[in-house]
C-alpha cells in the first residue's frame, strides 16, 4: 500500500510517499481501501508538530476518508466487504494512505442514508459537516429566528456552518473572510452577507441596530475572538472552534460575568474520544443532509496522493474556499 509519512516536524519536504506492507485485519476495527482523504488545516498543524504530544512522529496525516470496506474485524457488526463508507479518522489519523484502519462507531455506511452520496462528497464533508451539525444543534442549540456570525466563512468548516444554521432556523447568517477576493469566492455558501474580517464589529452592530447577534462561531481565535464579544447580545453565545490565527486570546472572566455572555469550546476529536457513538450518529445525520441536497459541499480541488505537497501549499496560502481532497 501507499502511505504519506511525516517522520519529524517541519515543512512540506516532510511529506514523503512510501510503499509499506498492507494492513491486516484487526479485531474490533474495519480496514478500508481508501478512495479519498480530506485535507484540512489541522493536517498542516499536525505536520508542523503542533499536536506531537498526542500524535507523536512518525505519523500519517488524514482525519477523514471515504472508500470501501476491505476487511471486517472480529466482533464488528453492521458492515460488509465492499460496502461504501466514510469515516472520521481524527482519533487515529492515517487517512493519507491507500488503506486505513477505521473505528466502526465513527464510520457511516453510505448505502444507508436514504439517498445517494458519492465518495468524494462524503470525504470532503464528514469532519466539517459533523462539527457544524453538532455546533449548531447541540452546542448552541439553534433557535428559530437566531442571528449568527461565522468567522472563517470560506473555510472547510465555515462552508457548512452557515448552511446548517439556516437549515435549522437562523433568520440571518453573516460570515467573515480574510479579504475581498473571498467575499466573491464564498458567495454561494448560503450567507446573507460576507464581510472582510477587519470590519466585522462595525458592520455587525450596524446590521443589528447595535443589538448584536445570538451566536458567534469562531475558527480564527486571537483578537478576532476577543472582539467577537463586542457583537454578542446579552446571553449571547460564542463557540470557539479553532485558532487559525495562532494568537492567544486576551480577556478576563469579567468580560463574560459583567455582560451575561458565554464562551464554549468545542473540538470534535475530544468528543469523539469520550462519546464516539454520539459523534457517529451526528455524522450520519450530517451526511444525510448532504445526500438529500439540503446542504451542499464546496470542493476546491482534488489532487492525487503524490501531489499532497501542492494541497498543503494551497492551505498554507489561505486562498482556498471549501475543501481539498486527495484521490487515492
At 130-181, the pLDDT tens digits run: 999 999 999 999 999 999 999 999 888 998 999 999 999 999 999 999 888 7
Percent of the chain with pLDDT over 90: 85
Tell me the average pLDDT across 78-97.
Answer: 97
Q: How many CA atoms within 13 Å lie on the side-chain side of 176?
A: 25
CB neighbour class for 1 (10 Å; exposed up to 12, middle 13-18, buried from 19):
middle
- The CA distances from residue 310 to 92, 190, 298, 306, in Å, are 24, 28, 18, 9
SS (H, E, C) the chain: CEEEEECCCCCHHHCEEEECCCCCCCCCCEEEEEEEEEECHHHHHHHCCCCCCCCCCCECCCCEEEEEEEEECCCCCCCCCCCEEEEECCCCCCCCECEEEECHHHEEECCCCCCCCCHHHHHHHHHHHHHHHHHHHHHCCCCCCCEEEEECCCCCCHHHHHHHHHHCCCCEEEEEECCHHHHHHCCCCCCCEEEEHHHHHHHHHHHCCCCCEEEEEECCCHHHHHHHHHHEEEEEEEEECCCCCCCCCCCCCHHHHCCCCEEEECCHHHHHHHCHHHHHHHHHHHHHHHHCCCCCCCEEEEEEHHHHHHHHHHHHHCCCCCEEEEEC
Q: Output the CATH code of domain 2-126+269-327.
A: 3.90.180.10
CB count within 10 Å of CB 170 equals: 25
What's residue 320's pLDDT? 79
The model's pTM: 0.94
Q: How far apart are CA 205 and CA 131, in angstroms?
A: 27
Least confident range of 31-35, 103-107, 149-153, 189-193: 189-193
pLDDT at 13 exceeding the cut of 90: yes
Please write the tens of the pLDDT for every residue from 223-239.
Answer: 999 999 999 999 999 99
- Has domain 143-266 been given CATH number 3.30.420.10? no
pLDDT of residue 185: 59
Q: Residue 187: is its pLDDT beyond 70?
A: no
- Residue 322's pLDDT band, with cuts at 50, 70 and 90, is confident
The domain segmentation of the chain, as residue ranges, is 2-126+269-327, 143-266
Predicted local distance difference test score (pLDDT) of residue 197: 96
Specify the pLDDT at position 251: 81
Give the other-Cβ count within 10 Å of 59's Cβ: 22
Amino acid at each position: 500500500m501507499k502511505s504519506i509519512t511525516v517522520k519529524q516536524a517541519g515543512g512540506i519536504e516532510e511529506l514523503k510517499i512510501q510503499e509499506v506492507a498492507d494492513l491486516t485485519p484487526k479485531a474490533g476495527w474495519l480496514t478500508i481501501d481508501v478512495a479519498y482523504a480530506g485535507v484540512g488545516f489541522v493536517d498542516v498543524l499536525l505536520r508542523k508538530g503542533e499536536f506531537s504530544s498526542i500524535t507523536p512522529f512518525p505519523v500519517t496525516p488524514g482525519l477523514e476518508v471515504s472508500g470501501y470496506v476491505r476487511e471486517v474485524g472480529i466482533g464488528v457488526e453492521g458492515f460488509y466487504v465492499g460496502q461504501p463508507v466514510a469515516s472520521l479518522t481524527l482519533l487515529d489519523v492515517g487517512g493519507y494512505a491507500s488503506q486505513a484502519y477505521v473505528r466502526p462507531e465513527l464510520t457511516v455506511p453510505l448505502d444507508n442514508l436514504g439517498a445517494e452520496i458519492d465518495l468524494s462528497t462524503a470525504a470532503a464533508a464528514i469532519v466539517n459537516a459533523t462539527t457544524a451539525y453538532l455546533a449548531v444543534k447541540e452546542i448552541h442549540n439553534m433557535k428559530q429566528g437566531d442571528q449568527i456570525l461565522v468567522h472563517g466563512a470560506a473555510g472547510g468548516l465555515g462552508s457548512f456552518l452557515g448552511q446548517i444554521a439556516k437549515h435549522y432556523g437562523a433568520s440571518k447568517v453573516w460570515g467573515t473572510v480574510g479579504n475581498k477576493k473571498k467575499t466573491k469566492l464564498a458567495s454561494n455558501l448560503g450567507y446573507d452577507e460576507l464581510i472582510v474580517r477587519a470590519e466585522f464589529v462595525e458592520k455587525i452592530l450596524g446590521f443589528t441596530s447595535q443589538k448584536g447577534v445570538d451566536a458567534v462561531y469562531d475558527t480564527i481565535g486571537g483578537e478576532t475572538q476577543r472582539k467577537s464579544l463586542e457583537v454578542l447580545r446579552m446571553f449571547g453565545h460564542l463557540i470557539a472552534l479553532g485558532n487559525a490565527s495562532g494568537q492567544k486570546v486576551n480577556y478576563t472572566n469579567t468580560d463574560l460575568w459583567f455582560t451575561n455572555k458565554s464562551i464554549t469550546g468545542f473540538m470534535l476529536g475530544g468528543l469523539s474520544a469520550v462519546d464516539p457513538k454520539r459523534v457517529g450518529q451526528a455524522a450520519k445525520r450530517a451526511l444525510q443532509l448532504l445526500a438529500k441536497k439540503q446542504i451542499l459541499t464546496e470542493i476546491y480541488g482534488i489532487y492525487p496522493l503524490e501531489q499532497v505537497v501542492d494541497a498543503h501549499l494551497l492551505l498554507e496560502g489561505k486562498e482556498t474556499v471549501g475543501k481539498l481532497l486527495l484521490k487515492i
